[in-house]
Amino acid sequence: MSEGRVLAESEKPTPTVGTTKKGLATRDRIITGAREALERDGMDSLTTRKIAASADVRLATLHYYFDSKESILLAVLEDVIGDMCVSYEAAALAKDPDACIAELLRLIWSYIKKTRERQIAQFELTIYALRTKNAQWLAELQYNAYIDFYSRFVPTVPGVSEEEKKRVSKSLARFILIGIDGLILQAFALDDEEISDQSVEALILASQTYFRHLCDSVQR
């Protein structure tokens, strides 16, 4: 066998941690275990030992794939965004701006109602990041990820530069996120579906009005 056709054992590339088929499956199991533990027990009781138990892996295995709790939480956040993508991208939103905003907010609220424990866990993740020394970057990354995600679905402004379109989309996405965060806390605290539905409709009207304001500001 010629030297050019094979690599010596010492020269063969070593797979990156977690990139083999088995490794990816184990990593996914740890992430799922962490998300389920967070949703079930909350942040205060979330330890690497409990995550390992929830994922049914040894603690040493968990530390092989993740070097800190924050790195696990980052992976959980990415997993949550991925799940949102699957749910939202299946919907074909209207082209008309007002209809698009209305459909998007109702879609968001429908998803939230189906994932109550996950929504609470996401708030706990934010508070943990803000309270923990050197972990505020995680809260910033979390909210930027939400804003980037929503900005993919909001209507765009016609006849302006790509830079202006992006600015308007992010501004509207931030506005929607502000309203959704408040709605989640109010809805879960009051447990009144009629009030929640009315509040969603009010947020739709406010978002439509704000979008028109944004359009006017860039089209003058």
* Whole-number Å distance between alpha carbons of 73 and 66: 10
- 95 φ, ψ to 5°? -80, -35
Q: What angle do CA 98, 113, 174 make, to 5 degrees?
A: 45
| pLDDT at res. 17 | 55
Counting residues of the chain whose pLDDT is more than 90, the rounded percentage is: 73
Task: Indicate the pTM of the whole model.
Answer: 0.85
- Residue 5 corresponds to which amino acid? R
Instruction: Report residue 154's pLDDT band, with 50, 70 and 90 as the boundaries.
Output: very high
pLDDT tens track for 38-53? 999 888 778 889 899 9
Domains and CATH numbers, the chain: 14-67 (1.10.10.60), 69-219 (1.10.357)
Phi, psi of 186 (to 5 degrees): -65, -45
77-83-87 Cα angle (round to 5): 145
Alpha-carbon distances, residue 46 vs 29, 54, 112, 121, 136 (angstroms): 16, 10, 23, 11, 18
Quick check: helix, strand or coil at residue 182?
helix
Is the confidence at residue 95, as pLDDT, over 60?
A: yes
Each residue's pLDDT tens digit, 1-59? 444 444 344 343 434 555 688 888 999 999 999 999 999 988 877 888 989 998 999 99
Say how many C-beta atoms besides its own lie within 10 A of residue 180's C-beta: 19
**Which of 17-21, 80-84, 107-111, 128-132 is predicted with the least confidence, judged by mean pLDDT?**
17-21
**Cα three-residue angle 88-90-91, rounded to 5 degrees:** 70
- pLDDT cut 70: percent of the chain above it: 91
